[in-house]
Structure 1
Amino acid sequence: MSSLYRTNDAFESTHNIAIGMRLAKCRNVITIGFKPNFSDYSDGDAKLIQNADKIFYPTAFYADIFEAMGKKIFPSLNTYAFVQDKIRQSAMFNMHGIPHPFTKVFYGNNQKKKIMDFFNLPFIAKNPRGSSMGRGVYLILCQNDLKEYLTSNAGPAYIQQYCPHDKDIRVVVIGKKVVLAYWRIIKGMDFRANISCGGDISFNDLPGEALSLALKTAIKCQWDDVGIDLVEHKGQFMVIEANMKYGKKGFIKAGINYHNLLENLIAKGDI
């Protein structure tokens, strides 16, 4: 058998098929693996894919192809469409009326010269696409900081209101359920709360309004496997961004076996 992760029992007892590796350790899923040339799949694996009613983690490459074929996929096509694209995420938040820090995107040198017309220092500047784990996020304190950001970032300038805080909240939604939530507490002199940047995790006194807003955001945006980051500013929670490639350290600290969680969600038909 050519599939990457398959036992005889799994092959006989399940028709749950995955392309990406996220479910490779799940016993109730056959993970076939990604091949950009469909002709490179064995005849057996090709038939499994073609005959499957639903494909888990189809990868960004195959997600829209399977959708066009009428196959169900998980995560949703929308989830793939907004991965690491802060510009489109902000547009979606604004269209849905989801509370979100004031954000503007500036294209070209003429527009970028007007950034200070819309924002007072300090503010946040981000690499608008492809960044995660706190990378590509800058606190702009002065004109020189802005100049350095614009010099290093040749693409659109993604500028966002700075909401001073000592912690933010990460809420993970899978299917249509909140499966994990925790505070990310800033440590040291860093302005970022990301765990990858040294932030601490706390599960104490998580506000229900933040969890409700995160779940509402995920459902409205049709993102069914996502980490939603929120910050409290002037008594109101706001969604900062969505992370489809979220880390697992929160699950580990909470004592949640991530792969067992996914197995159970699949077995119950929740995803």
Structure 2
Amino acid sequence: MTINDKRISLGKRLRSSRSFHCLGTLPNWQDYPAVRKDALRNAAVVYYPSTLYEDLFESIGKSVFPSNFYSLMGNKIRQTAVFQLLGINHPRTRLYYGRNRMRRILEDFPLPFVAKTPVGSSQGRGVWLINREHQLRDYLHDHRPAYVQQYLPIDRDLRVVIVAGQVVHSYWRIQAADNFRNNVSQGARICYDDIPDDALKFAGDVAIRCGFGEVGLDVCHFEDRYYVLEANMVYGLEGFRQAGLDIHEILADLADRGLI
């Protein structure tokens, strides 16, 4: 089977699929051999086009998969804007620029609240529970803009991984006794028991409404409502490993069945 007989991916996420030819991401367009340039030009859809080429392909009208992936990856500001625009349940969140940020934040949010590094943080890093004014002062010293969010007193959240509208895995992340964060990398425990169907339905609806082609959504239940906390495009795989699953095999199966 030649390169032109397969669907085309730049990223290696689909390398296990017989249906795809993964070309790799080269830093310069001219670095690609002519046959690969032609394959990319002729492809109806480019899969996992990378941050480098996603905008390029979209600018010339070419479809990419997954949608809303690289542009929202690691960007809490954009994600929050999307959730707010669509009216999706999300903890109350505000951004603060300019002067008098500390006064304005304390007027808007009762202690405790959560403050985060808005772009580029992951695995629970760059997240603080603010209980005292001096903690807020320290946070503001290093963060412009400030990203401040309502604190929900929960002891777990649900990670739901969705690809092309299909829930492919889900599990609870239960906090360690000494940490308010639910991240596995911060000591949270993975649990597969008693995952409610309505939580999966909520997550699936969020993914569809937001146009997420592939995403790991963090969902929690608080005061009789489900909330989406964050969308993760680069999500941890420990929950897959403990369940004996391989995300690359799952993606390959979806691809080979024509679902992506």
Per the normalisation by structure 2, the TM-score is 0.95
CA distance in 2 between counterparts of 1:60 and 1:12 reads 23
Deviation digits for residues 203-255 of structure 1, max 9, x if unmatched?
A: 11111221111111111111110011012211221111111111111111222
Task: Give the C-alpha shift of residue 13 in structure 1.
Answer: 8.8
Aligned length in residues: 260
Match of 1:87 in 2: 77
Moved more, 85-94 or 189-198: 85-94
Deviation digits for residues 39-62 of structure 1, max 9, x if unmatched?
A: 011112212212222211001221
Report the RMSD for the aligned CA atoms in angstroms. Answer: 1.6
Helix, strand or coil for the counterpart of 1:190? coil
CA distance in 2 between counterparts of 1:216 and 1:143 reads 38
Match of 1:113 in 2: 103
Deviation digits for residues 8-45 of structure 1, max 9, x if unmatched?
A: x5x46941211123223444321111113100111122
Task: Give the C-alpha shift of residue 70 in structure 1.
Answer: 2.9
CA distance in 2 between counterparts of 1:159 and 1:237 reads 20
Deviation digits for residues 127-158 of structure 1, max 9, x if unmatched?
A: 111111111010101011111111122x1100
Q: Which has the higher contact order (CA 8 A, sep 6+)?
A: 2
Alignment check: 8 A CA contact 2:3 2:21 kept: no
Go from structure 1 to structure 2 and tell me whether the alpha carbon gap of 1:13 and 1:268 turns closer, same or farther (over 3 Å shift). Answer: farther
Output the amino acid matched with 1:90.
Answer: T
Residue 47 of structure 2 corresponds to residue 41 of structure 1? no
CA distance in 1 between counterparts of 2:102 and 2:109 reads 12
Match of 1:158 in 2: 147
Identity of aligned residues (%): 42
Moved more, 11-20 or 123-132: 11-20
Structure 1 unaligned residues grouped into runs of 5+: 1-8
CA distance in 2 between counterparts of 1:248 and 1:196 reads 11
Deviation digits for residues 60-113 of structure 1, max 9, x if unmatched?
A: 22112212333221111x222211111121121112111111111111232343
Moved more, 127-136 or 249-258: 249-258
Helix, strand or coil for the counterpart of 1:114? helix
Alignment check: 8 A CA contact 2:18 2:256 kept: no
Match of 2:44 in 1: 53
Alignment check: 8 A CA contact 2:17 2:255 kept: no
CA distance in 1 between counterparts of 2:234 and 2:113 reads 25
